[in-house]
Amino acid sequence: MATQSHGSPEDQSAYAEPLRDVAPAPRRSAAEEARTLVAQTTTASLATLSEDGTPWSSLVRIGLTATGDPVLVVSTMAEHGRNLHREAKASVCVGEEGEGDPLDRGRVTLAGAVVPGDDAALRAYEDAVPTARGMAKYADFDVWVLRVDRVRWVGGFARMDSVTAADYAAAAPDPTGAAGPGAARHMTEDHADALLLMARHLGGFPDAETARCLRCDRLGLDLAVTTPRGPGSARIAWAQPVTQAGGLRAAAVELTQRARAAAGSGA
């Protein structure tokens, strides 16, 4: 009989802890994670309530207001468009793009209620979805803003949190957000030796045998390491936060130099 829940401590067998104390590295807040993820896509799944009481899942494209509220332009010729006239409560889910199992990648659900959108909302939508420019002139289309009052972010395995509407609205998307996945892949593919030095000499895993970069962001990078004791993970901060998309490279070079220096000094 199944009595154990997934993700419980019993489930975390054979994960290696760092062998040396390392300074805790800052992470993006869940609110920043959510804002960053939502800013990277214009495709979302919309849930509305159909007349027969069925929650109705459909595909939409979205723009974003300045505070990250999704803007929808949908037709009453479609069921979701009619639903929103009857029941304003709705949510959208956006998923992080990438390869492999989509459940290993990030996704965010933004829940709230729609209100009619103004001209600024329509412009935000048309900026995000240029092919839709002019659609709102048709009588069957409505412009809606989903006023977010509840946010659930899932970053992948064991990375998830709820976010208040205020924290979500106040957060800014990570300026390196769109560049992060490519930079992480590049470091893993072309600079595995540097990552291994980082894991051994800055990440607390002197016995690391391999290191991959899982992700990197404006504050630092996450490494997945293998050791004779099993797999482990390390978070290492950049020297300072990166403030623009193009800044990840310089931050990674500095971190590599620091790891080499630490290796040379026997750290």
Binding-site size, its own copies (CB under 8 A): 50
Residue 5 interacts with its own copies (CB under 8 A): yes or no: yes
| 103 part of the interface to its own copies, by CB under 8 A | yes
| CA-closest candidate to residue 203, choices 23, 10, 16 | 23
Q: Radius of gyration (Cα) for the chain, nearest Å?
A: 22
Going residue by residue from 204 to 223, which x/- string records binding to its own copies, judged by CB under 8 A? --------------------
- CA trace torsion 16, 19, 23, 24 (10° rounding): 20
According to DSSP, the β-strands at 55-61 and 43-49 are: antiparallel
DSSP secondary structure, 93-126, as one string: EEE---SS-GGGS-EEEEEEEEEE--HHHHHHHH
Interaction between residue 263 and its own copies (CB under 8 A) = no
The answer to whether 71 touches 63, Cβ cutoff 8 Å, is yes
If the CB atoms of residues 47 and 192 are measured against its own copies, the closer one turns out to be: 47
Instruction: Tell me if 43 contacts its own copies by CB under 8 A.
Output: yes
List 98, 102, 116, 230, residue binding its own copies (CB under 8 A): 102
Residues 54-83 binding its own copies (CB under 8 A) are: 54-59, 61, 75, 77, 79
Residue 163 is classified by DSSP as E
Q: Which of 16, 19, 25, 111 binds its own copies (CB under 8 A)?
A: 111
Q: Give the binding site for its own copies (CB under 8 A).
A: 2-7, 43-50, 52-59, 61, 75, 77, 79, 87, 89-93, 95, 101-103, 107, 109, 111-112, 131, 135-141, 150, 152
